[in-house]
Amino acid sequence: METFQSLLGRKLSDALAKAGLPEAADVTPATDPRFGDYQTNAALVLAKQRGEKPRDVAEKIIAHLKVSDVSEMPTVAGAGFINFTLRAESIAQKALEILADDRLGVARSTSPKKIVIDFGSPNVAKPMHVGHIRSTVLGDALARIAQFLGHEIVRDNHIGDWGTQFGMVIWGWKNLLDRPALERDPIGEIVRIYKETNERSTSDPTVREACRQELVKLQSGDPKNFSIWKQCVELSMQDFERIYGLLDIHYDIQRSESFYNDRLPNVVERLLKSGIAEISEGAVCVFFRDIPELADKPCIIRKRDGGFNYATTDVATVDYRINDLKSDTIWLVVGAPQILHFKQIFAIARREGYTADFRHITFGSILGEDRKLMKTRSGENVPLRDLLDEAVQRARKIIEKKNPDLSETEKIDIAQKIGIGAVKYYDLSQYRMTDYVFSWDRMLSLQGNTAPYLQNAYVRVRSIFRKAGAPAGKIDKLILREVAEINLAKRLCQFAEVVPQVLNDFRPNILANYLFELANSFHAFYEACPVLKSEEPVRASRLALSELTGRVMLRGLDLLGIKVPEKM
């Protein structure tokens, strides 16, 4: 189904060709609705190229524009912008088409890809904390949106379950473990023994050497150390899964660092044999002398002592995702501090001849009210499970106050949807590179750009049909007379334009902000245009418009990973 933006863009191309002018610019949504619904700066671009007056070029283009079936007569504004105002009849017809479409007008990609999305990636033997929100929630939303657009998606949780910290964990397990505490709070006890061991190793060379020996034994396959490591992994995974269950996050595969251990020697051998890597001061390194920003930053893929590191594992991970999973696109939703690391990994992959599309999708930080990284009062990272539990508890208090007559089952369900949805939406509504201050009051507000406000818009839609006692019936025509219903229908038609834009720069906030504007348009419509009290055929038309609003809101929030209640 062609969108208004696409249709007007096609008509603009035809007009430029007929006027003997080259392609110059696209049609975009108008920045100021007072001048129209869509606009193009093609005349400005061409005038600069040709040394002509923009308004003269604009008039020449308009003379060949055939848009009367879609918009009013195009107008020229400002320095030479061409503006289009959609006809109410066109909006009504398009909205009716979308109402009959299961995909709400959103077209599938004409060039679908197989995309591996690496997001979340917590570390074993450590609790997930507030810092994991952005990667986990952002990655999940991008996966949902890409899948809806027709791409084949593999969600991969690249769990950190291997490394030097396990020497300390295993020594602590053998010497400091409190079994009853492990049963009560597995991750808490593992963290405690790790911290205490770390403190001891700092001041006691004997403990430090003992930890190193425990790591060597693990890496050599010692049965006892492997068993301890495996228990740590299993306990951590159980904790992760509880949190993913709360967040409604699902992975297709979970390939941890240890999964690649057997592949690492071959990675080093292959890179040496191909000449991509070389031995330098006893270590195996890849140099990037031809890449200015990496020229003085070699990548070590085998240490002097023969040990492997993250870079070795990540090269093996690229191999697996391209050769085994057969993906042509890899998205890594990982924090900005890893930019240099992934530039090196991508450069190595390209030298090996891989042509996949590699994208490192970075994001900002979550800050406390002091505008520093969010921490507990003791300076520790805020555990994610505690934060999510508090979100649900705070939502429950709001529900108790607003609607105390709900059943206990309803209160539990609604509190979870509102609390978890609030946390997710507050993150996704920000531009991903922006640091933001975590605020319970703003996050759970029923006013403003928040999940509860959007969820309430959906609930209001459903309340219309509960009062009507029946779903919207099938209609042949939408009647759009009032400004509020025209604006709402127009907004609904934009859904199909907005969803594909999200992947252009991996910005779910574009969809979040669209849904906020849709909720505003619906509330304005609800106040200005009586639905159930209207006479037919206006009543049926407004019911259909309400039904379409509910469906778009439901689908849009689902693409962000947010559930909606039927009541609030």
**Backbone angles phi and psi of 101, in degrees to 5:** -105, 125
Q: What is the pLDDT, as a whole number, of residue 376?
A: 61
User: Which tens digit of pLDDT belongs to each residue from 155-175?
Assistant: 999 999 988 889 999 999 999
The vertex-342 CA angle with 337 and 345, nearest 5°, equals 150
Residue 219 or 230, more confident: 230
Query: Which pLDDT score is estimated for 380?
Result: 73
* pTM (two decimals): 0.94
Contact (CB, 8 A) for 512 and 428: yes
Closest CA to 561 of 227, 99, 136: 136
What's the burial of 538, exposed, middle or buried (CB within 10 Å: 0-12/13-18/19+)? middle
Strands 81-84 and 28-29, how do they pair? unpaired
Mean pLDDT of the chain: 94
pLDDT, tens digit, for every residue of 106-128?
999 999 999 999 999 999 998 89
Integer angstrom CA distances of residue 166 from 284, 301, 317 = 24, 20, 21
- Whether residue 559 is predicted with pLDDT greater than 90 in this model: the reply is yes
Residue 561 CA to its chain's centroid (Å): 9
Ranges for all domains in the chain classified under CATH 1.10.730.10: 451-559
The mean pLDDT value for 194-206 works out to 94
Query: What is the mean predicted confidence (pLDDT) over 247-273?
Result: 96
Q: What is the mean pLDDT of the segment spanning 215-232?
A: 93
Q: Are strands 357-361 and 436-437 parallel, antiparallel or unpaired?
A: unpaired
In this predicted structure, the answer to whether residue 253 has a pLDDT above a threshold of 70 is: yes
Report the percent of the chain where pLDDT is more than 90.
Answer: 88
Distance, in Å, from the CA atom of 27 to the CA atom of 84, rounded to the nearest integer, reads 9
**Residue 525's pLDDT band (cuts 50, 70, 90):** very high
Average pLDDT over residues 389-413: 93
Per DSSP, the residues of 373-397 read B-B-TTSPBPBHHHHHHHHHHHHHH
Question: In this structure, what token pair is assigned to residue 93?
Answer: 């017809």
pLDDT value of residue 378: 61
DSSP state of 352: T
Please state, in angstroms and as integers, the Cα–Cα distance from residue 61 to each residue in 4, 132, 161, 337, 455, following that order: 19, 51, 61, 48, 44
Residue 481 above 90 pLDDT? yes
**Is the pLDDT score of 379 beyond 80?**
no
Q: At residue 377, does pLDDT exceed 80?
A: no
Q: Is the pLDDT of residue 387 over 70?
A: yes
| pLDDT number for residue 1 | 86
pLDDT digits (tens, 9 = 90+) for 9-57: 999 999 999 999 998 889 999 988 888 999 999 999 999 999 999 999 9
Cα dist from 372 to 331, 352, 363, 381, 436, whole Å: 28, 41, 16, 12, 10
| Greatest distance between any 2 Cα atoms in the chain | 87
Q: Which fold has domain 4-86?
A: Gyrase A; domain 2 (3.30.1360)
- Interatomic CA distance for residues 214 and 216, integer angstroms: 5
Q: Cα dihedral angle (210, 214, 219, 224), rounded to 10 degrees?
A: 160
* Residue 219 pLDDT class (50, 70, 90 cuts): confident
Q: What is the pLDDT of residue 203?
A: 92
On the question of pLDDT at 407 being above 70, the answer is: yes
Q: Could you give the 3-state DSSP secondary structure of residue 283?
A: strand
The mean pLDDT value for 383-387 works out to: 92
Q: Which strands sit side by side in the sheet containing 299-302, from one edge to the other?
A: 278-280, 283-286, 299-302
pLDDT tens figures, 306-325: 889 999 999 999 999 999 99
Query: In the chain, where does the domain assigned CATH 3.30.1360.70 lie?
Result: 4-86
The predicted structure's pLDDT at residue 375: 73
User: Helices (DSSP H) in 429-507: which residue ranges?
Assistant: 440-443, 451-468, 483-493, 495-501
- At CA 380, angle to CA 394 and CA 216, rounded to 5? 130
Question: Tell me: domain 451-559, CATH 3.30.1370.100, correct?
Answer: no
